[in-house]
Amino acid sequence: MASQRTQGGKACEEPRAGGELARSVAERLQAEINAGGLRPGAHLGRAADLMRRLRVSRPTLRAAIRQLEANALVRTRTGVGGGLFVLGDAGPGTLGLARHLSLLGLSYRLFFQIHMPFYEAVAVLAAGRARPADRRRIAVRRLEMRRATYSHAQYSVARAELHKMIARAADNPALEAIGAALTRAYREILRGEMRLGHTELDKVRQVKAAEDAVLAALVRGDVAETRRRARAASAVEMAVADDTIQRGMLPERVIPQTLYAIPDEMRTAKLAELTARALRRTIHLENARPGTWLGSAPDLSNRLGVSYDICREALGLLEPHGLISLRRGRKGGVYVGAPNAKKVLPALRDEILRGGAGGGQLLEAARLLRDLKGGVVGLPEFPGEADSAHKLLDELAVMLEEMAA
């Protein structure tokens, strides 16, 4: 039976179960997005406005927003002009896959083993297939990037735009969608964690120079030279990442203390994401099987060194992807789940089909993913670390092969 509550002089119904109310709020917001034909980037309102309009508490609203974020429908922004916005830089399938990747708990080194070789292969395809108009656009962008001086954050944005151009020039909608997910996940994983000062800008210059050589060969249509330069660029970036980790500027396995210097609202969201990934890495390193009991939420908050509220936020990020399961009752608590990319694959499948990928393009993308799998190797001291990455690449490849058939 629902309980009555009053707000603004009006009685409204509120289900007893917080999860049920959060789901109903998420469904209402999703219906507004779909029915209203809201454009990407449309502002749905600030938290206080949404709480008044929907007549819910802040915790319920946050739980509803987490569900929408897990489905890659919205994103929150803090500060002046902040609030809840409709996502629009890619389709829901791409965004859902990006979120799944970012929460798998992969180490930076492991993620680089997927991200960089993927763009090596895509750049080689683009060198042989790019149309004259594509080459001109890439050449113009290359000149703009050569002339500019970038901070690390600025370069990561410019580079994401460039990777999108290269993937489009490779003329394979399936690779374009998966590449967009990898690029977005890369930015989510590193956001706010790479603390590069002025003395570290030479690292940006090293990566920039290596990628510039790739672009030059690509624009000329020299496939062999593009392949050689792309491999060299991957080696440069991996060396830069390793050096940054060793200097403590890119923490490999811990939650950086510098987060406590950023605004409360932003810090809460970021800490929840990092806690979620830290918990996933703990599961990997302990080689915990699906169904293993991890403890209660208070136990985990103590182990991970975060507040109970942050821990609950982190668990709420992981649960929709099947990465953990929450159970109530006598044997309740947090249990290990099986990483389940199949929850995001239907939307990605629809997105690729809308892009017009043919059977040959789908099989080409599947082969490329299987090739990537062979290069993803965890560190010897952390056996089983690469299992989630291998499983994900297998699931994506199988999906593409089934679509082609």
DSSP string, 247-297: TTSS-SSS--GGGGGS-HHHHHHHHHHHHHHHHHHHHHHTTPPTT-EEE-H
CA contacts within 13 A on the Cβ side of 368: 26
Contact 169, 126 (CB under 8 A): yes
pLDDT one-digit tens code per residue, 139-195: 998 888 888 777 666 777 778 778 889 999 999 999 999 998 888 888 777 654 444
Q: Give CA separation, 95 vs 100, 102, 312, in Å.
A: 9, 11, 23
pLDDT at 10: 41
Calculated CA dihedral for residues 77, 80, 84, 88, nearest 10 degrees? -70
What phi and psi, each to the nearest 5 degrees, are found at residue 45? Answer: 125, 165
Could you tell me what percent of the chain has a pLDDT over 70? Answer: 79
More confident residue, 15 or 277: 277
Q: Give CA separation, 232 vs 206, 219, 228, in Å.
A: 11, 17, 6
Lowest mean pLDDT among 61-70, 259-268, 276-285, 389-398: 259-268
CA dist 362 and 340 (Å) reads: 21
pLDDT at 253: 45
pLDDT at 19: 67
The alpha helices in 305-358, defined as continuous H runs, are 308-318, 345-354
Mean pLDDT within 265-294: 78
CA dist 346 and 139 (Å) reads: 36
Contact 367, 357 (CB under 8 A): no
CA dist 190 and 249 (Å) reads: 11
pLDDT at 194: 47
Q: Which residues contact 232 (CB under 8 A, 6 or more apart)?
A: 210, 213
Give 34's pLDDT tier (boundaries 50, 70, 90).
low
pLDDT one-digit tens code per residue, 292-348: 999 888 888 888 888 888 888 888 888 888 888 888 877 788 998 888 777 788 888
Mean pLDDT within 366-382: 86
More confident residue, 340 or 365: 365
User: Which tokens hold the place of 67?
Assistant: 């569900």
Bridge partners of residue 326, in order along the sequence? 334
Domains of the chain: 16-88 (1.10.10.10), 93-249+356-404 (no CATH), 267-341 (1.10.10.10)
Q: Give CA separation, 296 vs 252, 321, 328, in Å.
A: 26, 19, 10
pLDDT one-digit tens code per residue, 193-247: 444 444 456 777 888 889 999 999 999 999 999 999 999 998 888 887 777 666 6
